[in-house]
Amino acid sequence: MRFLLLCLVLAVYTPFHAMAFRLVTYNLRFDSMPDNITVQQSLANLSNPLIQPRYLSLTAEQPWSLRRIRVAEHLISEGIILAGFQEALVRQVLDLAELLGSDWDWVGVGRDDGVLAGEFSPIFYKKTDLLLISNDTFWTSNTPFEPSKFPGAGSFRICNVAHLQLKTGSGTNFTFLNTHMDDQSDAQRQLAASLILYRARFEAVNTKNPVLVIGDFNSPPTGADSGAYNIFTGAKPPVAINATFAAKYAVPSQSPAFSMLDLRAQAPRRAVRSTFATFTGFTAASDTSDWQRIDFVFGGTNGGWTADGYKVESSRTDDGVLASDHRPVFADVSL
């Protein structure tokens, strides 16, 4: 009888239980030294795991063909089910799809033509845990619905949006946005933050579901270049955005105020690893001159999520190889 009661209680409550999972945002550094080494060749070339490496024997940037294995083995070991990358050229997207395996799928487009050219900010998701409902891309420029560059920006810049559903536990639907802001133009970054915040608010109002935004802001939370972060968190007003975009994603005027919360501050303090910098450059372990926190994970103030943990992990392995000039940022989220 007790057992039956327990079963009944579980049956009634299980669908509503929050589902905890780990996600990552990771700027991979584009494939700046292309070669023709295949993923299978790299896998065949992996060292015997029982043999001690020559510690810190390598310092400078290594080819993607060497870095990709480090990226994949790290991500696999973290048990993530959702990932947003930045700076990935199509080769890198396809390599990671191969390395992560057939349980995974991805969406995204090359930012230069909306197809395959230029860097992607792809969203990878584990098909066994997440269902993709829809996805789209907009450019963080004055003409968001066509491949375009903000005047003064170094590159075309995009944001990818995915509507996803958890396949187990709560079954929650949520919106996930992944972006990479400009490295040269602070005005571009402020426009990007304004567009993405506007879209995120639309998602919050329209879907009433959790909204998570990740990405490389190419700018820190404090100091002269903190405009994008401050617009995101509501500390600074947004800048003017394209009218077509504003009309498409308008919300009723009585909609609640909305901003984004930095998950590094939302997770319980003891569950936040003290490792701070997300950009390190390809430098020796002792050279911290370029270190900065510029990669973030945010949740919308409309809620529906809790932050259970947060950590920035080194991208360096004992042989000195840096898998990227950024570090992966992991967040544990319950929806």
Ligand X SMILES: *[C@@H]1O[C@H](CO)[C@@H](O)[C@H](O)[C@H]1NC(C)=O
Count of residues that interact with ligand X, criterion CB under 6 A: 24
Cβ distance to ligand X smaller for residue 17 or 222 = 17
Closest CB to ligand X among residues 10, 133? 133
CA separation for the pair 34, 222 (Å, rounded): 36
State how far Cα 48 lies from the chain centre.
32
Instruction: Indicate the residue among 192 and 312 with the shorter CB distance to ligand X.
Output: 192
Closest CA to 120 of 149, 175, 157: 157
If one asks whether residue 107 binds ligand X (CB under 6 A), the answer comes out as: yes
134 touching ligand X, by CB under 6 A: yes
- Minimal distance in Å, beta carbon 293 to ligand X? 31
Distance between CA 96 and CA 105 in Å, rounded? 10
Residues 50-69 close enough to bind ligand X by CB under 6 A: 65
Interacting residue with ligand X among 168, 244, 275, 288 (CB under 6 A) = 244
Which of these ranges, 30-38, 75-83, 151-159, 196-204, lies near ligand X under the rule CB under 6 A? 30-38
What are the Cα distances from residue 328, in Å, to 23, 137, 174, 242?
10, 23, 22, 32
Question: Which token pair is 268?
Answer: 């319980």
Comparison of 69 and 213: residue with beta carbon closer to ligand X: 69
> Hey, which bits of the chain come out as E strands?
20-27, 82-86, 104-107, 123-126, 130-139, 158-166, 173-180, 211-216, 260-262, 295-300, 306-312, 329-334
Q: Which of residues 18, 19, 20, 37 is near ligand X by CB under 6 A? A: 37
User: By CB under 6 A, which span of 1-9, 75-83, 92-100, 135-143 interacts with ligand X?
Assistant: 135-143
Q: How far apart are CA 280 and CA 216, in angstroms?
A: 13
Among the listed residues 59, 135, 259, 283, the single contact to ligand X using CB under 6 A = 135
Specify whether the CB–CB gap between 148 and 118 falls below 8 A. Answer: no
> Which residues contribute to the site for ligand X (CB under 6 A)?
34-37, 41-42, 45, 65, 107, 132-135, 142-146, 165, 171, 173, 242-244
